[in-house]
A and B are shown apart, each in its own frame.
Chain A
Amino acid sequence: MLSSYADTIPLTEAPILLEVRDVSVEFVSKQKGAPAARAVDHVSFALREGEMLGLVGESGCGKTTLMLSLMRLLPAAGRIVTGSIEFMGQDLLDLTESEMSEVRWRNISIIFQGAMNALNPVRTVGDQIAEALVRHGMAPTGKKSSAAGRVGDLLEMVGIGANRANQYPHQYSGGMRQRAMIAMALACNPQVVVADEPTTALDVMIQAQILELLDELRHKLGLSVILVTHDLGVVAEVCDTVLVMYGGVTAEYADVDTIFNDPQHPYTQQLLNAFPDLTRPTARLISIPGAPPRLDNLPPGCRFAPRCPQVFDRCHSEPPALHRLSDGHLASCHLVESR
């Protein structure tokens, strides 16, 4: 493992805001003697000011778990077992729970996957946005009513009329709910926003609008964004760096141009192949056969070995280390080593 990722991808001179080092997350089982399932295994990345990081991978590869551990919001059975999460030089894992609750939303906020579920159906949208403002002392008198102006501004910022603050989530369309979730995430002027699949369950037009809005707000407010997504097209368009995860480990980590033009890990290559190419409309769409490994039944060697087209003997017995290529491009594959 590398000791520092501070100079991993020297894309810009901007200072590093968030540095995740060797984080592993396990889920403990209630059954006695059952081994803990490791959902995230020694993952590291760095996020600079104003940068957008794309976190890509299939369902169940640990993306959401990694993001929730940034906020220290894992489900009851989850444990962060190794590593550190440094935000502006402070290890978040050293903070007490009450200090952490100050960091949440004020410094790092999250746009949850599935906006309908993240809004309470029996309370108005404005009321729920005001919740964060009141909790973090941003309402002038500490009452929700005094935050109405700010709630209106936030809604206007994401393109919803301020007069709709008094409406309930069911009176919003799917896209508006997602916009409201973005407004909510921005309520306390955070430096880092985690967008956990913000466009799932939305149609393509609305997806484009939401991503455009996110990108626009990032430039306007100088946000650093971690975008969790399945959609490589989205990543190519808005992200600066890309972290590809597979089965809880880093498959490849590089800036966006390198990932798309010079992918080293067979999984990344396969993912890109599985993406339709508009210049060759008649080409067959290739899918990766098989499914990601179960966390309680990981292969002994490389986790991608059972599905890898370039697999050889060593892959089945020995897990590959994370190798550094030129310019901080990281990939965990035995093939890279020999190069």
Chain B
Amino acid sequence: MTASTEITSIRGLSRTFSRSTMGMIGLILLLAAILMAVFAPQLAPYDPYAPVKVTIDDIYAPPSAQHLLGTDDAAKDVLSNFMYGSRVSLVVGFFAAFIAVAIGGTIGIVAGFWGGKMETGLMRFTDIMLVIPDLPLAIVIVAMTKPSLWNIIFIIGILGWTGTARLVRSQTLTVKERKFVTRARAVGAGNSYIVRRHILPLVLPLMVANTVLVISLAILSESTLAFLGLSDPTLVSWGQMLNYAFTRGAMSAGAWWALVPPGLGIVWVVLGCTLLGRGLEEVLNPRLETHHLAVGKRMIARSGVRGTAVADVETEEWQVL
């Protein structure tokens, strides 16, 4: 394939994607969160890790000019905490989802493609992992190991792959029965070549869209664990902000500003991921771009008939002649 066709096809994909309103909203939400996380040191008015001198008035101080979102139980600026907190959520989300999809994808493809006893063994193992309640297991493992950032990423990763494995396996099963796999075998291709060049390209779109959804699940798991007090105590995260606010009387003090921002932050990122995942699912269907039956008024482009609404193809504006 030449470079030019590759570029046009990427352009084509992005064009299709930009038509998906849901996907675009998700992308914007997620990009904004990522920008905030990356530039937190520049954006945040205070450093949440710097020690502060506390007077009684500084604790749960309501929003003011100095503290736009007020202060928390330790007299730290909630807005700064919120900005820094997004870093942990996103790092955990991305890395844990990556681990989960890598494990789930491998297990799914191996089980689906090779079949037989291997498949039975792997899928029964997946079923067992699926019925074990994730959260209690995660709590037990985190409690037994040190609740550091990487431990939590690893634990969420190794507990979150079951859905991906089942999805990828079912897709692999349908793809491997297609005629072009027999054809590739007739040509003389080996198993690994068939998996890489024939199965993977058709499973990958599903995995990409799934990854984005797994990210949102991982972020939720991280927040849940942090809310329950199982997070790295030296790092600020949204779940931990909720934990402190909840356990240290923000409710009774009426300090809504300590609870609402981290909660909304979680909703923001999870919503962004979900919308982006849905949008990607639409776009990555290979037949969608040029060979899909479109429905809509734009396909009627006749002109000159009195009284008919006519679309200008360029601007898609409608006018009655």
Binding site for B on A (CB under 8 A): 71, 73, 101-102, 104-105, 109-110, 112-114, 117-124, 127-128, 131-132, 135-136, 166, 168, 170-171, 184
Contacts and interface: CB of A to CB of B under 8 A. Distances in A.
B202 A122 contact: yes
Q: Which of B179, B197, B287 lies at the interface centre, i.e. has the most chain A CB atoms within 10 A of its CB?
A: B179
Contacts of A168: 286
A112 B188 contact: no
B150 interface: no
Given A104-B187, A105-B186, A120 B201 contact: yes
B294 to A, nearest CB: 15
Contacts of B201: 120, 122-123
B297 interface: no
Given A117-B178, A121-B286, A109 B202 contact: no
B266 to A, nearest CB: 36
26 contacts: A73-B182, A101-B188, A104-B187, A114-B179, A118-B180, A118-B182, A118-B183, A120-B180, A120-B201, A121-B286, A121-B287, A122-B202, A123-B198, A128-B180, A131-B184, A131-B189, A135-B187, A135-B189, A136-B188, A166-B2, A166-B5, A170-B287, A170-B290, A170-B291, A171-B291, A184-B183
Q: Is the interface of B mostly helix, strand, loop or mixed?
A: helix
Given A104-B187, A171-B291, 5 more contacts: A101-B188, A105-B188, A131-B184, A131-B197, A170-B290
B185 interface: yes
Contacts of A124: 1
Nearest to B291: A170
A228 to B, nearest CB: 15
Given A122-B201, A127-B1, A73 B185 contact: yes
A105 B1 CA distance: 24
Contacts of B189: 131, 135
Contacts of A128: 180
B198 to A, nearest CB: 5
A109 B187 CA distance: 8
Contacts of A136: 188
A117 B180 contact: yes
A112 B179 CA distance: 8
Interface string B156-198: 0000000000000000000000111011111111000000011
A139 B186 CA distance: 18
A207 B189 CA distance: 30
A105 B187 contact: yes
B188 A104 contact: yes
A225 to B, nearest CB: 16
B198 A120 contact: yes
Contacts of B186: 71, 73, 104-105, 109-110
A168 B202 CA distance: 14
Interface in B1-39: 1-2, 5
B182 A112 contact: yes
A118 B188 contact: no
Contacts of A127: 1
Contacts of A73: 182, 185-186
Nearest to B292: A170
Contacts of B202: 120-122
- By Cβ-Cβ distance, the 4 closest A-B pairs, closest first, are A117-B179, A101-B188, A170-B291, A118-B179
